[in-house]
Amino acid sequence: MAGSAPSPPGWQNTNPSTLPAFLGKQPPPPDVSHYPQSSARPPSGWQDKDPSTLPEFLKNLPPRPDVSQYPQFPNDKSASFGGYGTLEARQVTRILENAGIPCCICGIGALIYYGAARLRRDWEICVPSESKDRAEALLKSENYVDEYISLPPWPFQDLGSLSHTYTRFKSTGVSFYFVLVPSKDVHLPCEPQTFQRSHHDLPYPKLDILIQSFLETNDNVSLADAIDGSNVSEEWGVENLDLEGEVDLEWAKWKNSIILQHAGNGFGFGLNPTKKVEKRWLWEFMVRNKGGRRGWTQPTELFATRFRLHGDSDPWLEERDGC
C-alpha cells in the first residue's frame, strides 16, 4: 500500500508454507515502528561536557581542532593502485634522490612494508634533519609548483609525534598526501646504506635499522607491530640488534621538549616515555610475548603472530600494491 513502510528483509517475510518445519511456526518479528526515537546526537565524549563538571586535569585542555576550514579537494582522482599512492610516493622519493637528498619511507608505511596491518593517512618520508628545509623548499619551488600543493599541518597530534607540526603536501588533482619527517624525530639514520628497496623501488629502512629505532625510543606499539609483522625470533635480535645499555632517554627528553613547545598553553599530549629501561629486557619481553598479542580471531594452530600465518613468506619479499 502506498506510504507504508517497506518490510524488513529475511525469512520472516517469506511465505510460511515454503519454510522448513522448524521455522514455519516462529512468531513474527516485533514491531518497533512505534518505539520512541530520538533525533538528538549523543555527545561524542568529555569534550562536549560542561567544563565545570570535569576533573581538574581535563578542565584546561585546549578545544579540539576545528577542521571545517581545512582545505578540501572533493574532485581529486584516486591515487595509484586503488588509492594506495605507491607510484606517487615513488615520484617524490626520486625527486629528492635526484637532488642528492637521501630519503626513505618511515612510520606506518614502514610497518606496513614489514607486514603490520596498519592504516595510513599520509605517507611519511624521512629525510636527514639537516636536509629537511632544503627538501621542503625543493618541493615548493617553481619546478614543482604544478605538481604539489603545500598545506597547513594536520591539526591532530599522534602519540609522541611531531606530525602536527610538519607541512603537509599533496599531489595536484590526486588524493595523495605526504609529509617530510626529519630523521632525528624518528631516531633513524637516513643514509643510503641503511635502506632496502621494495618491488616498486621505494626505499625503506632495513628491518634491523627500523626495529633498533623502536628500541631506542621505547616505542612499544611500533616495536610490537614490527615484531609481529616480520615474525623475527629472539635469536634474530641478539644477532642483529644493539641490545646493550638503556633506551635513549636524552632523545626522549629532547622530543618531549619540542612537543611541549608546540603545545603552547595547552596540554602536552602523548609525551615519549622517560623511564629507564634496559634494551635487552625490552627486546626479550616484547618478542617473547608476540603469541600473547594474538586475538581470538587468530588461533594458534593457524597464526604464528597476529599478522602472520604459519609458514607464509616474508611480506617484504612479495610484490604488493601498497609498498
**pLDDT tens per residue across span 25-84:** 556 656 656 655 544 444 456 566 777 777 765 656 666 777 777 899 999 999 999 999
Cβ atoms of residues 116 and 225 within 8 Å: yes
Give φ, ψ of 90 to 5 degrees: -65, -40
Angle (CA) 170 175 176, round 5°: 50
Q: How many CA atoms lie within 13 A of 267 on its CB side?
A: 13
Residue owning grid cell 609483522: 229
Q: Is 266's pLDDT higher than 50? A: no
- pLDDT confidence band for 268 (50 / 70 / 90): low
How is residue 78 written as a grid cell? 584516486
Cβ atoms of residues 193 and 167 within 8 Å: no
pTM of the model: 0.80
Cβ atoms of residues 207 and 198 within 8 Å: no
Distance of CA 47 to the CA centre of its chain: 24
DSSP 276-290: --BHHHHHHHHHHTT
148 exposure class (CB count in 10 Å sphere: 0-12, 13-18, 19+): buried
Average pLDDT over residues 182-188: 97
Q: Is 277's pLDDT higher than 50? A: yes
pLDDT in tens, 190-227: 999 999 999 999 999 999 999 999 999 999 999 999 99
Q: Using alpha carbons, select from 221, 212, 269 the residue that is nearest to residue 241.
A: 212
